[in-house]
Each structure stands twice: as structure tokens, then as C-alpha cells.
Amino acid sequence: MNDDADSRIGEANIIRDRFDASSLLIATYEGPELRVTAANAAFRSFVDQDDVVGCTFHELFPEFAAQQISPMMEKVFATGQAQGGREWRFQVGDSDDRRREYFLDFIVEPYLDGEGAIAGITAFAIDVTEQVRRRQADQDRATEAERRYAHALDVIRTLQQQLLPPGLPVLPSVQIAASYLLADADTAAGGDWFDAVPLPDGRVALVAGDVVGHGVAASAAMGQLRTVLQDRLDDTGDLLGAIRAADRLARRVPAAHAATVCLAALDPADGTLTWCSAGHPPPLVVNTESARYLPLSGSGPLGTGADYRLDTDRLEADDMVLIYSDGIIERPGRDPAAATVELSQVAIDSVAGRGFDPALSAVERASTQTLELLVRQSGHTDDITLLAAQRRVPPPPLYLSGPVDTVTARMARTAVQDWLALHGAGERDRLALTHAVTELVTNAYEHARTDSDDVTVTVTAYLRNDGEARLCVADNGRWRERARPGDEQLRAGHGFGLAMTAGFADHLDIDRSDDGTTATVRRRLSRPAKLFTDEQISHGRPGATGTAAEVTIMLDQPHARSSRIAIYGPLDTDTVAELGTELDRRTLGGTHELTVDLTAVTHLGSAAIAELYRAQRSGEGRPYPLRLYAPAGSTAHHVLSLINLPHSTTDPDTDDDRERRR
């Protein structure tokens, strides 16, 4: 007996040791409270706590409730049905500085007591974070992956981007964000769409629609319906008139028949929301604590002979309205009733910042994280659109004024950049307006200065209700005309400023009088919507990046095939002298070739353009001594293309570019 007991104890010790040494994260939980009864070393290391027995799952992972992990664990205990997932994203930690992110493969299964009743659950997980990170890095670097998906993703995404609005309006009193999730990388483009249209009376119209089917016909019908709705809304602001015009089109165009649409108008002044849902799911109003679906209005899809009416509600200051397509409701394994409840619950957590990336704005979280949290559990078989809008207190107008010698171009650029950030403007608007204000302030300094030194420069900017930004640079000096620019003036940066500014603006107005000069730039602000694939939505989205520092660095690149430098930071009037000296030194006065990599240039002003132009002209009659490299999408490429200064968008030191230049 003693030998048998010793043998059983030995076997138990072996089992315990193997359990504790397993690389899997293993824990067992007992009862509806999911209280830990056993956990191996890998699990204890994961939670960074040695004594976990007796703790509940919620006590160990309070943040998992908003990430839809806790409800899943409770469901396994309640139903006895096992649950699992591959490469789910988990964020652990109760504060930003302690927050850690993992990707796990896992399975959760119930275990029974002696009478066959569910006594608890066991969770097995393996940390695959390193593999996921490695794969993501490989995908970012691998051109082979780009070629593999080019025939499907690139064509579909290009088509969708052409048919969907190029950007969402940036408005002073309403924040708007939207996302579009493709059903499958290998399917044809779909018929879902969204739109946001500022109305003549100060309201903003919000649209989400869905054309039956996929393919060219569905996409073409979607484009026609979107155009009709946008034109009517922009012209009259009449929601019913717009719906009825779309209904008439759906009767004439077979591919548009039975399309559904939800059209709403939000008045930021008092929160009044007017809507019509033509066979489409109704809007969802959500805040940090609760959510409610608005009642259906309109009796059927477009082109089916339905009657349409408008209903009215009111959004409180912290309310947000979500308009979406039915793909987010009709997900595999979810009945519509449960899916609508799930959408509302996840939206509350996303708006409140209890899920991922709390630094994003509420509308951004609602339109992206809601998709991620819902779709990763169930998958999806249809395209999904999600449009979010929320009232806000408008940021104050920009005002900067002082003597012409103290209001520098860099100071004005920083002020405009900060003002645009408050509004959430897109990168293209930041590029355009910061360049514009730099050129106008520089222009005022050069043309309005007088010997009395009492000239004042004033920079103002405000955003109209229709999303048009008005940027003004005014001075009280006298305009001094200059001769046609020659080489010396080009070296100083004269002759390009106003031309560049006009290229960055929708409209440029210059008013000169005896009292001074006022230059006004008008530009409609927008921000891009998010177009997602399954791969992107499953593994989260990168957070916003910070603004590059206002420091200019010129670095030699000794490993390049030819003489080459890379420039980082802004190139403006403050750095043009340094740029000229460096170009002359590197080219030995224009007699030797030099490649200038402008990829990381954050600002390219007219004074620097003139210096680059001078350096390129010094090679007339023989190969250019200066080769400019500015990849497509970079700040330098945008500016150089605007003024038609020769440059390469592919690296001049690569074999492909060398062959092309022959």
C-alpha cells in the first residue's frame, strides 16, 4: 500500500511538473464567477502575478470586458459550448504606460463535475505575438506580397475609392468619421456606400446605402444613386426630395432596384436629427453609457413603390449617431436581434474608450474599433459601411499678429498646423495650408517692409459651416513691385511664392490698397475615410503619428552608389542659405553629380525651390549635376510636381531607374 501511495504521489508530481512547465497558458476557472483553481507558470507570467488561485477572471483582467473576452468566457460556462480564436488581439494593463498588446491562439472549453453538470471552464492559449509581428513586418517590406494581391486588392480598392467620396468634410461643429470593410479581397467591388454633405442651411447630411449584389453593375448603380443624392442635397438640402429622386432612378435602372438607403440630417446648433430609412437599418444613437435605435421610417427599398416620410429626434451634447449598412448586422452565426444588441453594446464601449486606442477621437473609435471587435468573432460575408457623427464645440479661429520682423514664416506655419490639428483636418490640407501661409508671410516680409519698420503682419484662419477654410495674411505696408526674376532673385526665392500658393488653394484672392495687402486662401477641408481589408481590421490599425520636428538635418549617405545626401525636416527661408552652401560644396560648384533624397522633407518653400532650380540649371548642356529624388506621396513630390521641377519618384540609385533614364 505504501508503495502504491508513493507511486501515485510520484505520478501526481510528474503531472503537476509537466503542467507547470507547459509553454501553453493554462488556467482553470470554477463556478459562474470564474474563480481560478489552477494556473501554470506560463499563465502566471502572463498576468505578472504569482498568487492567482482564488482570483476571478474579471479581477485579473478587468479591461477584457470591453474587448468582448469576458462575455465569451461567461458564455462557455453558461452554454457548455467551447469557443476559440486565432491571432486575437489582446491589450492587458489598466493604464497607457502599463498597457501591453498580445496576439493569442486560444480555446476555452467547459469541464463537468461528478454528476455531469458544468463545474467550470479551462482556457488554453499560446502567445503568437512574435509570429504575427514578424509576418506584419515581412508584409510591410515584401514587394512580392504587393504583387500577389495587386490584381485583387489594388483594383477593388481603386474602384471603391473612385466611387466613394474622396474625403469626409471637416466641419467646425460636427466631427465625422467613416469606414468601409470589404467583404473579401477576391470578390468584385460591392454596392455599399456612404456620404456626408454639408447642407445650405448649416446642417450636415449623412448617407449610407446598399445596392443589391456585387460587381460592375452594382458599383455603377451605387455611383449613380450617390450622385443623385449628393446633387439634390447640395442644391436644396431637401431630404425627401433627394430620396424621391433616388427612388425615380431606381425605377429606371434595373441594377439600382431595391437598393436601400438611410439619409439623415444633423443640425449642430440644437442637435435636431431628421432622417428617413428607405428599407435600410435605422440610425443608432449612442453615448458613453447607453444606446438606442431610432424607429424605422419609410416603408421599403427604392424603386418598390414605397412611401417615404421624415422622422425627427434630438441628440444631446454627448450623443453620437451611427449610420451603417446591414452587413454589420447580418454576420455569420448571429440572428438579427442578437446582432443589433451586440452592435449597440460594442459601440458604447468604443465611444467611451474602453476598448483599444483611447487616444483616438470618439467618432474614429466608433467607426473602426466597433468593426474590429464585432467582425473578429463572427467574420462577415458582406461589405460593411459605418458612418459616425457627433456634435462638438467648435475650436476658436486662429489669430496671430505682430511686427513683420517677429511673425516669422515658421511661427505662422506652426500656428496653422496646430489649428488644423484641432479640427482634425487631413494630411493633404495640412500640406497645402502650411505651405500657403509660409509663402504669404514670406511674401509680406519681402514686399511690404518699409524703412519705418512699423509694418504689421496678421494671420487669421476660420472654418465655415460648409467646411471651407479661410486663411488670410494681411499687412499694412506698401506693395513693392519687383522686376522679372533672374538668377539672383531666383536664388533668393522670388517668383515662385504666389504661384505655389495658388496651386495649394481652391481660390486665392489678393486685395492691394493704400492701407496694405490682404491675401486670402480658400480651401475646402476634408479627411479620408478608412477603407479596410480583413487583414487590416483583424490586427488593428496603427495610431496617429506625431508631427515631425522643425529641425533641418542634411546627412551624407556613404553607402549609396554615387554622391548622395538625404535631407530631413523643413526647407524654407531659414535654411535656404545652408542648402545652397551644401549643394555648392557637394557638386564642386556644379561640376559633379549629386543625388538629393527629399523623402523626409516636411516643408518645401519657394526659397528652397529657387535654390534647387538654380543648382539644376548649372548643368545646362550636360547631364544635370543635381538629381532630386521625391517618392510619390511625399511632401516634396507634391510641391515639385506643382511647379514642374524635374525629379524622380523612383530611387535614382536603383538599377530600374538607371535603365529608365537611359
Q: List pLDDT tens digits, range 385-399.
A: 999 999 999 999 999
pLDDT tens, residue by residue, 81-100: 999 998 998 888 766 666 78
Rounded average pLDDT over 279-291:
94
Domain span(s) for CATH 3.30.750.24 in the chain: 548-661
pTM of this prediction? 0.70
Out of 4-8, 312-316, 415-419, 481-485, which region has the weakest mean confidence (pLDDT)?
Answer: 481-485
Q: Give the residue carrying C-alpha cell 533668393.
A: 492
What's the grid cell of residue 654?
536603383
pLDDT (0 to 100) of residue 220: 82
**What type of residue is 622?**
R
As beta bridge partners, residue 169 has 526
Distance CA 497, CA 500 (A): 5
pLDDT (0 to 100) of residue 624: 53
Which has the closest alpha carbon to 469: 433, 428, 424?
433
Checking if the pLDDT of 487 tops 60, the result is no
Q: What's the topology of domain 2-132?
A: Beta-Lactamase (3.30.450)
**Which CATH class, in words, describes the domain spanning 398-527?**
alpha beta
Domain span(s) for CATH 3.30.565.10 in the chain: 398-527
Give the ranges where 260-359 is alpha helix by DSSP (H): 336-352
Highest mean pLDDT among 12-26, 91-105, 526-540, 597-611: 597-611
pLDDT category at 453 given cuts 50, 70, 90 is low
Distance CA 193, CA 70 (A): 34
Element (H or E) spanning 57, and its range? Answer: helix 57-60
pLDDT (0 to 100) of residue 603: 86
| Whether the Cβ atoms of residue 496 and residue 643 lie closer than 8 Å to each other | yes
Checking if the pLDDT of 383 tops 90, the result is no
Put the strands of the sheet holding 311-314 in their side by side order.
Answer: 190-198, 204-214, 260-266, 272-278, 311-314
Phi/psi for 566 (5° steps) reads: -120, 140
Rounded average pLDDT over 318-347:
90
The DSSP code sequence of 276-314 is: EEESSPPPEEE-SS-EEEPPP-SSS-TTTT-----EEEE
pLDDT (0 to 100) of residue 421: 93
Out of 274-288, 412-426, 507-521, which region has the weakest mean confidence (pLDDT)?
Answer: 507-521
What's the grid cell of residue 255?
441594377
Distance CA 390, CA 642 (A): 36
Distance CA 30, CA 253 (A): 60
Domain span(s) for CATH 3.30.450.20 in the chain: 2-132
What's the grid cell of residue 65?
470586458
Which residues of 445-506 form beta strands (DSSP E)? 456-463, 468-475
Checking if the pLDDT of 481 tops 70, the result is no
Sign for the pseudo-dihedral over CA of 37, 41, 42, 45 = positive
**What type of residue is 440?**
L
What's the grid cell of residue 467?
467646411
pLDDT (0 to 100) of residue 526: 92
Checking if the pLDDT of 149 tops 60, the result is no
pLDDT (0 to 100) of residue 658: 44
Out of 306-320, 357-371, 471-485, which region has the weakest mean confidence (pLDDT)?
Answer: 471-485
| Residue 366 CB coordination number (10 Å) | 30
Checking if the pLDDT of 538 tops 60, the result is no
Distance CA 333, CA 368 (A): 22
pLDDT (0 to 100) of residue 420: 95
pLDDT tens, residue by residue, 43-78: 998 888 889 999 999 999 988 888 889 999 999 999
Q: How far is CA 483 from CA 488, 564, 615, in A?
A: 11, 35, 22
What's the grid cell of residue 292?
438606442
Rounded average pLDDT over 277-281:
91
CATH superfamily membership of 153-391: PPM-type phosphatase domain (3.60.40.10)
SS (H, E, C) 67-99: CCCHHHHHHHHHHCCCEEEEEEEEEECCCCCCC
pLDDT (0 to 100) of residue 94: 67
pLDDT tens, residue by residue, 619-638: 454 445 788 999 988 888 88
pLDDT category at 491 given cuts 50, 70, 90 is very low
pLDDT category at 4 given cuts 50, 70, 90 is low
pLDDT category at 547 given cuts 50, 70, 90 is very low
Checking if the pLDDT of 541 tops 60, the result is no
Checking if the pLDDT of 495 tops 70, the result is no
Three-class SS of residue 517? strand
Domain span(s) for CATH 3.60.40.10 in the chain: 153-391
What's the grid cell of residue 96?
497607457
Give the ranges where 551-632 is alpha helix by DSSP (H): 576-586, 606-617
Burial 449-476 (b: 16+ CB within 10 A, else e): beeeeebbbbbbbbbebbbbbbbbbbbb
**Which CATH class, in words, describes the domain spanning 548-661?**
alpha beta
pLDDT tens, residue by residue, 349-375: 999 988 777 788 999 999 999 988 888
